[in-house]
Copies of this chain bind each other. A is one copy, B any other.
Amino acid sequence: MATTRRPGGRSARVQAAVHRAVTDLVCERGADQVTIPAVAERAEVNPTTVYRRWGSIPALLAEVAAAEESGPPAPTGDLGADLAAYAEWTLADLSRPGGIAFFRAEVAADVDERRAGLRECLKRSSTTIEALLDRARGAGHEVPALTDVIDRVVAPLYFRVVFSIPGTDAAYARGLASALHREA
């Protein structure tokens, strides 16, 4: 039989407190300075609880990042607008507190975990983009390849956020999308 769970009152409160503590600490100190004892103290829970429920910092950051991520914009079928919206959303997702921190943590995590985290991250992006392209393709348009969207839109945004290149804002994101769209 399946072990019965207890998501009710207390567990939910602990989870909320821990999540909040993680985002706060990531903003204040950066993802690499976030330790489980620090999170536990800020959340006013026992470190043992965090160790037993989440096990490691990468796992905890992953959960928090996933919980905070807003879904990507729904494609409308207008390829130009959809690409722009997707680019803008991607940048917003990376720029939000903890967004890039999550990415940093994944990049730095140990081999097995890293592969899992990065692969999932890439797969989600690919799926979203494919949906967007399919929608436009269904409307009878010529669409760029997935790989081009990644190279021309997604990669520059990640690169610019990681390197903190100034001027990387929503307008820039839209510009990347429209430059690709114009060529198709």
Contact = CB atoms under 8 A, between A and B. Distances in A.
A110 B30 contact: yes
Interface string A25-38: 00001111100000
A176 B163 CA distance: 21
B111 A30 contact: yes
Contact of A155 (B29, B105, B108, B160): B160
A119 B163 CA distance: 7
A3 interface: no
A162 B115 CA distance: 10
Contacts of A115: 164
Interface string A148-159: 001110111011
A150 B155 contact: no
Interface string A104-144: 11011111001100110110000000000000000000000
A108 B108 contact: yes
A2 interface: no
A184 interface: no
B122 A165 contact: yes
Closest 10 CB pairs of A and B: A108-B108, A155-B159, A151-B156, A155-B156, A155-B155, A30-B111, A122-B163, A107-B107, A104-B107, A32-B110
Given A107-B107, A121-B163, A122-B165, 20 more contacts: A29-B111, A30-B110, A32-B110, A105-B108, A107-B162, A108-B108, A115-B164, A118-B162, A118-B163, A118-B164, A119-B163, A151-B152, A151-B159, A151-B160, A151-B176, A152-B152, A152-B156, A155-B159, A156-B156, A159-B159
